[in-house]
Amino acid sequence: MVADSKAGSDISLAGTFAASAFAASFAEICTIPLDTAKVRLQLQKKAVDEAALPKYRGMLGTVATIAREEGLSALWKGIVPGLHRQCLFGGIRIGLYEPVKTMYVGKDFVGDVPLSKKILAAFTTGAIGIAIANPTDLVKVRLQAEGKLPPDVPRRYSGALNAYSTIVRQEGVGALWTGVGPNIARNGIINAAELASYDQIKQTILKIPGFTDNVVTHLLSGLGAGFVAVCVGSPVDVVKSRMMGDSSAYKSTLDCFIKTLKNDGPLAFYKGFLPNFARLGSWNVIMFLTLEQAKKFVRNMESSRA
């Protein structure tokens, strides 16, 4: 991938999709506890009584509170739709990045691809991918958002499949695309920041004497991509989580943005920044390291069959 278009071009589209879906799913399994903590922090609203302490405080505190009150398994709430999401969304956004980038620059282009084209290609694949995968994201957020309930209060959903069917039955098929606007904005922007920055950082590192296309380069590029993605995408990520967590409270994306700004202040858009960075930083490192190895495996498999 990235900064190595020649190497990437000798893998079939199906092989690239499979490698991307596998890498994204593996990263999801490893980091979803941090994502659950991030969602809880983002959905936590300012207390009416300013003297009252918030339930969730910081990344580690939130993880510890969830584990203590709800059990360790609660940290993996939403893992099933999360894997649905990564197989579909991860495969599309990452798998199509190189072909779309080539489409924008032209198949006969020679030299380093301009950063603007990388950003445009990544935004395009991110927007297309999440427009298709939005139902999986919605179910994932709703399962993660549900905390510990009193014994006499039933849960809204017994699991991922029940959540899909319940939402369709009670709210209609269109409800599965609740928050699709901010989700397209969020994932298009984050994907642009993530893939384009990984591509650019890796390309830059490989020009430094002594650096090669190895694990160290992939690790540094992945960390850089995660940091850029969180800085750029955190505000739309908060709006997306709030709309998906409680869609009845907001009329539209703009309404959610305005109410969040008015009620909780501008810093609310960076709630959960540290767990978000811990999540995206580690997610990117794991995903890109796994992706590079998975693509090598696929390349060898396809070469042996030729």
pLDDT exceeds cutoff 60 at 50: no
**% the chain with pLDDT above 90:** 42
Rounded to the nearest 10 degrees, what angle do helices 215-245 and 13-43 cross at?
Answer: 50
Residue 105 is predicted with a pLDDT of 93
Residue whose token pair is 């506890």? 33
pLDDT exceeds cutoff 80 at 146: no
Mean pLDDT of 38-53: 66
3-state class (DSSP) for residue 187: helix
pLDDT single digits (tens) 99-136: 999 999 998 888 889 999 999 999 999 999 999 999 99
d(CA 101, CA 118): 6
Sign of CA dihedral 200, 202, 206, 210: positive
The two structure tokens encoding residue 63: 């993880």
**% the chain with pLDDT above 70:** 91
Buried b (16+ CB within 10 A) or exposed e, 67-105: eeebeeebbbbbbbbbbbbbbbbbbbbbbbbbebbbebb
Lowest mean pLDDT among 4-18, 107-121, 192-206, 215-229: 4-18
pLDDT single digits (tens) 228-287: 988 887 887 788 778 777 777 888 878 888 998 998 888 888 876 776 787 778 888 999
pLDDT exceeds cutoff 80 at 86: yes
Residue 1 is predicted with a pLDDT of 57
Q: What is the pTM of this model?
A: 0.76
Q: What is the mean pLDDT of the chain?
A: 85
Among 123, 141, 137, 128, residue whose Cα is nearest residue 91: 128
Other C-beta atoms within 10 Å of 152: how many? 5
> 179 and 134 in contact (C-beta within 8 Å)?
yes
**Residue 255 CB contacts under 8 Å (≥ 6 apart), including other chains:** none
Question: How long is the chain?
Answer: 306
